[in-house]
Amino acid sequence: MCYTIEMNDAYFGNSTFSINQRRYLGSKTKLLFFIDEIIQKENITFETFADIFAGTATVANHFYDNCKIIVNDILQSNNYIYWAFFAKDKIDQKKLNALLDFYNTIDIEKYDGNYFSQNFSNTYFDEKNAKQIGIIRQDIEDLFDRNIITFREKAYLITSLIYALDKIANTVGHYDAYRKVNIENKKLCLLPLNIKLSKYTPQIYCQDANELIKKIESDIVYIDPPYNSRQYCDAYHLLENIAGWKKEKVFGIAKKMERGHLKSKYNMKSAGLAFGDLIDNIRAKYILISYNDMGISGNLRSQARISDYEILSALKQKGEVKVFETAFKQFTTGKSSKKDLKERIFLCKVSFAAKERLIFSFKLNPMASGFVKSPLNYTGGKHKLLPQIIKFFPQNIDIFYDVFCGGANVGINVEAKKIICLEKNKYVVNLLKLIQKNNFEYLHKRILNIIKDFGLSQSFIKGYGFYGANSSNGLGQFNKTAFLKLRDAFNNDKSKLDLLLTLIIYSFNNQIRFNAQGDFNLPVGKRDYNGSLRKNLISFNQAANEKSISFKVCDFRELEKIKISQKDFIYLDPPYLLGLASYNELGAWKETDEKDLYCLLAKLNKKGIRFALSNVLKHKGKTNEILYKWIKENDFIIHKLNYDYKNSSYHLRTKNDETIEVLITNY
Ligand X SMILES: C[S@@+](CC[C@H](N)C(=O)[O-])C[C@H]1O[C@@H](n2cnc3c(N)ncnc32)[C@H](O)[C@@H]1O
3-state helix/strand/coil string of 38-74: HHHHCCCCCCEEEECCCCCCHHHHHHCCCCEEEEECC
- Site for ligand X contains 292 (CB under 6 A): no
**List 64, 103, 178, 266, residue binding ligand X (CB under 6 A):** 266
Instruction: Give the span between the Cα atoms of 615 and 388, in whole angstroms.
Output: 14
Interface residue with ligand X among 27, 61, 218, 510 (CB under 6 A) is: 27
Task: Output the smallest distance, CB 223 to ligand X, in A.
Answer: 9
Nearer to ligand X, 25 or 321 (CB): 25
Cα–Cα dist 423/544, whole Å = 16
- What backbone phi and psi angles, to 5 degrees, belong to 119? -95, -30
Residue 194: DSSP 8-state: -
Contacts with ligand X, 135-164, as mask; x by CB under 6 A: ------------------------------
Task: Looking at residues 512 to 531 of the shown chain, list those that interact with ligand X (rule: CB under 6 A).
Answer: none
Select from 17, 50, 58, 407 the one that contacts ligand X (CB under 6 A): 58
Answer for which of 39, 61, 68, 73 binds ligand X (CB under 6 A) is 73
Q: According to CB under 6 A, which one of 74, 315, 350, 443 is a site residue for ligand X? A: 74
Q: Helix, strand, or coil here: 524?
A: strand
E strand or H helix that includes residue 30: none
Q: Which is nearer to ligand X, 79 or 379 (by Cβ)? A: 79
Binder among 61, 117, 264, 336 for ligand X (CB under 6 A): 264
CA atoms within 13 A of residue 361's CA, in its CB half-sphere: 16
Selected binder of ligand X within 225, 276, 406, 411 (CB under 6 A)? 225
Shortest Cβ 210–ligand X spacing (Å): 6
Residue 80 binds ligand X (CB under 6 A): no
Instruction: Tell the smallest beta-carbon distance from residue 230 to ligand X (Å).
Output: 10
By C-beta, is 152 or 237 nearer to ligand X?
237
CB-based contacts of 160, cutoff 8 Å, min separation 6: 17, 84, 100, 190, 191, 192, 193
Q: Give the Cα separation of 280 and 357 in Å (integer).
A: 10
Of 74 and 549, CB closest to ligand X: 74
The answer to the question of residue 175 lying near ligand X (CB under 6 A) is no
The residue within the footprint of ligand X, chosen from 49, 53, 483, 490 (CB under 6 A), is: 53
The whole-angstrom distance between residue 393's C-alpha and the CA centroid of its chain comes to 21
Least gap, CB of 265 to ligand X (angstroms)? 6
Cβ-in-10-Å burial (0-12, 13-18, 19+) of 352 comes to exposed
Residue from 50, 59, 282, 505 binding ligand X (CB under 6 A): 59
Our CB check for ligand X shows the closer of 209 and 416 to be 209
The neighbouring-strand residues paired with 345 are 290, 324
Q: What's the per-residue H, E or C state across 258-303? A: CCHHHCCHHHCCCHHHHHHHHHHCCCEEEEEEECCECCCCCCHHHC
Binding mask 618-647 for ligand X (x = CB under 6 A): ------------------------------
What phi, psi does 266 have (nearest 5°)?
-75, -10
**Least distance from ligand X to the Cβ atom of residue 487, Å:** 44
Residue 659: burial class (beta carbons within 10 Å; 0-12, 13-18, 19+): middle
Torsions phi, psi for 358 (to 5 deg)? -65, -45
Nearer to ligand X, 31 or 96 (CB): 31
Site residues (CB under 6 A) for ligand X? 24, 26-28, 53-56, 58-59, 72-75, 78, 208-209, 224-226, 232, 264-266
